[in-house]
A and B are shown apart, each in its own frame.
Chain A
Amino acid sequence: MSIIRLFLTQIIILIFSVTLTHGASEQFKGKIYTPGMLKPVDSKTRLKAGMTAPSFTLPSVKGEKISLAQYLGKKNVVISFVPAAWTPVCSDQWPGYNIAKDLFDRNNAVLLGISVDNIPTLFAWTGEMGDLWFPVLSDFWPHGAVSKKYGILRSDGVSERAIFVIDKKGVIRYIDVHDINKRPALEVLIKELEKLQK
């Protein structure tokens, strides 16, 4: 029994040593809070590909109100939920999307970034990422309501790290409720968008 415990301890140490590598950009030096290793997924969504995406309207960092409905019939929509501002993996995700606009445009898609953080926090955090081309929306109040509607609100009040691809008809075509400790690879998302074009 004690050998198993030792083995598990070593594995945990190893996992920690592998995952503390995110958020290493000089841009965020001294500004990142490291929560440590978290339960990979702490919710269970009832949504599935083929279902109609739940509607929502949320305020953006730039002061607009953004509704999912405004893209109906016009654009495919990618929603990127990230758990929390100023944390390692989250700070290491949207900046990459920010230089991949061409890939979204090519697939007639818009990207909406959503977090349960409030607007001032998101303003300060995303300001470190440069001028983001996509809207960043706050699901702060009622707290996590949209995250809950999508079935991805964790028990500690943050959302999962999740991606939803919604087509022009408002139908969910892809869901990735990702391990919160890891960043989803960009190519997986792009391949899913390319499928919508076929």
Chain B
Amino acid sequence: MKKTIMIGIILCLTVFLSVPVTEAGGDITDKEGVFPNITLPEPAKAYEKEYLGIPEGPFALSRIKADVVIVEIFSMYCPYCQKEAPNVNEFFRLISQKAEIKEKIKIIGIGAGNTPFEVDVFGKQYDIRFPLFSDESFSIHKAVGEVRTPYFFVIRINPDGSSKVVYSRAGSIQDPNAFLDMIIQEAGLQKEE
């Protein structure tokens, strides 16, 4: 009996430790997938906190004040992410310049396996103006399906706090203008204007 309980505990412990962030519904890289409601630390910079419209302290992704959140999974050590950084900056600049959408679409980056120091090096090197977070233990990377980097999730945040992946892709976003148009369409933002 004791032995059975021990085996049960060991198996449960393994499952628990290997799935650090839950709530992912099926394959989240599929359209209509549910993005895990990850918790992120409070950004160090005041303008980042203001940009995200979040309260003090750690916050859930669904608390970001936006209709759509774009999550880029990147790594400072990923050559493709490095090459793509100026393109993503241009995409961020495009959104910031459009008054009708800049409050509706927000971007964050998550550095898979990167320490806060490494994330900071990446941010400074490419002059990245949107918030970047460290995922040193790969726990978020694991929860989102160990995707290749860079990987982009376009997530619709619903008024009830639930979220839905409306689009996702690995690799370059290609033309930032076309990518933005596609997001507006996929997330149904035009209808609300």
6 nearest A-B pairs in the assembled complex, by CB-CB distance: A25-B78, A96-B77, A187-B117, A27-B80, A10-B14, A26-B80
| A185 and B82 contact, CB distance less than 8 A | no
Q: Is B83 an interface residue (CB 8 A)?
A: yes
Binds A, one of B49-57, B142-150, B180-188: B142-150
Q: Is A38 an interface residue (CB 8 A)?
A: no
For residue A133, give the distance in angstroms from its CB to the closest CB of chain B. 13
Binds A, one of B87-95, B118-126, B159-167: B118-126
Quick one: which of B6, B14, B77, B117 contacts A25, CB cutoff 8 A? Answer: B77
Q: Could you tell me the distance between the alpha carbons of A128 and B118 in the complex, rounded to whole angstroms?
A: 21
| B82 and A24 contact, CB distance less than 8 A | no
A26-B146 contact, Cβ under 8 Å, with A3-B7, A10-B11, A185-B117: no
Q: Is A157 an interface residue (CB 8 A)?
A: no
For residue B44, give the distance in angstroms from its CB to the closest CB of chain A. 15
| A21 and B142 contact, CB distance less than 8 A | yes
Q: Is B106 an interface residue (CB 8 A)?
A: no
Residues of A within 8 A of B (CB): 3, 6-7, 10, 13-14, 17-18, 20-22, 24-27, 29, 92-93, 95-96, 98-100, 103, 128-130, 183, 185-187, 190
* Size band of the interface chain B makes with A: 35 or more
Residues of B within 8 A of A (CB): 3, 6-7, 10-11, 13-14, 17-18, 75-83, 112-113, 115, 117-118, 121-122, 125, 138, 141-142, 146-150, 170-171
Q: Could you tell me the distance between the alpha carbons of A91 and B3 in the complex, rounded to whole angstroms?
A: 43
The residue in chain B whose Cβ has the minimal distance to the Cβ of A99 is B125
29 A-B residue pairings within 8 Å (CB atoms)? A3-B10, A10-B14, A13-B18, A14-B14, A14-B17, A14-B18, A17-B18, A18-B18, A18-B138, A21-B113, A21-B142, A21-B146, A24-B141, A25-B77, A25-B149, A26-B150, A92-B78, A93-B77, A95-B82, A96-B118, A99-B121, A100-B125, A128-B79, A183-B77, A185-B117, A186-B115, A186-B118, A186-B121, A187-B115
The residue in chain B whose Cβ has the minimal distance to the Cβ of A185 is B115
| A183 and B79 contact, CB distance less than 8 A | no
A21-B10 contact, Cβ under 8 Å, with A26-B171, A95-B77, A99-B76: no
For residue B137, give the distance in angstroms from its CB to the closest CB of chain A. 8
| A24 and B146 contact, CB distance less than 8 A | yes
Interchain Cβ contacts within 8 Å, total number: 99
A residues near B147, Cβ cutoff 8 Å: 24
A25-B80 contact, Cβ under 8 Å, with A10-B10, A14-B14, A92-B75: yes
For residue A192, give the distance in angstroms from its CB to the closest CB of chain B. 13
Q: Could you tell me the distance between the alpha carbons of A7 and B11 in the complex, rounded to whole angstroms?
A: 8
Q: Could you tell me the distance between the alpha carbons of A56 and B24 in the complex, rounded to whole angstroms?
A: 52
